[in-house]
């Protein structure tokens, strides 16, 4: 299936990261360790966890054909990785607004439709999977919305933590339900911009 990028610009790499040159940084955050990875064009991966080794393995698993290295602060092309990692840690701590880094991600048109709906949910609010399905014009695609939500490669930037079950229960979260609870609680305490 054809993939596209948010800006309708094709991603800079092929399936499974084929041809990508990815640099990453792992930093401390209020929710544990945070990995931010990107190409020269933008962020392609962001995730949270407890172990640097696990986070790096997850990045390599998502992009098995890419050339992946730790970001070097002395390389000008890597400076954006540190900048966006810092911006995301400040957001997670409730000290700054949601950052909007450029992204270089792959997905199907359906996934991008879901991800755009997630980005449209204001901080401190949630939407059910069924409501997201209705908003993209596919009211019966509730499970597919959940799958697209789970395929989000850039946690926080695409706020998949704002999607919940119709019952009001949190549902799942790739990076752990406790992190989802904390993100939602932090956002609920922040004044809306």
**Would you name the residues annotated as active-site residues?**
160
DSSP 10: P
Report residue 133 as tokens: 């399905």
Given a contact cutoff of 8 angstroms between Cβ atoms, the answer to whether 88 and 99 are in contact is yes
Report residue 155 as tokens: 């946690």
d(CA 27, CA 80): 14
Cα end-to-end distance, the chain, whole Å: 38
């Amino acid at each position: 299936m054809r993939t596209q990028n948010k800006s309708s610009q094709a991603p800079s790499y092929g399936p499974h990261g084929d041809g990508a040159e990815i640099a990453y940084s792992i930093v401390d955050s209020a929710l544990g360790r945070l990995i931010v990875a990107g190409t020269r064009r933008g962020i392609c991966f962001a995730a949270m966890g407890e172990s640097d080794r696990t986070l790096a393995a997850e990045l390599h698993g998502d992009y098995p054909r890419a050339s992946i290295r730790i970001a070097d602060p002395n390389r000008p092309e890597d400076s954006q990785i540190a900048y966006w990692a810092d911006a995301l840690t400040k957001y997670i701590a409730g000290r700054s607004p949601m950052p909007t880094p450029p992204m270089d991600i792959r997905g199907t048109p359906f996934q991008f439709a879901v991800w755009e709906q997630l980005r449209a949910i204001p901080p401190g609010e949630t939407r059910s999977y069924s409501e997201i399905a209705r908003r993209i014009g596919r009211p019966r695609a509730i499970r597919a919305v959940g799958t697209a939500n789970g395929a989000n490669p850039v946690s926080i930037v695409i706020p998949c933590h704002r999607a919940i079950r119709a019952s009001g229960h949190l549902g799942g979260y790739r990076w752990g339900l406790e992190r989802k609870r904390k993100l939602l609680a932090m956002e609920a305490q922040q004044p809306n911009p």
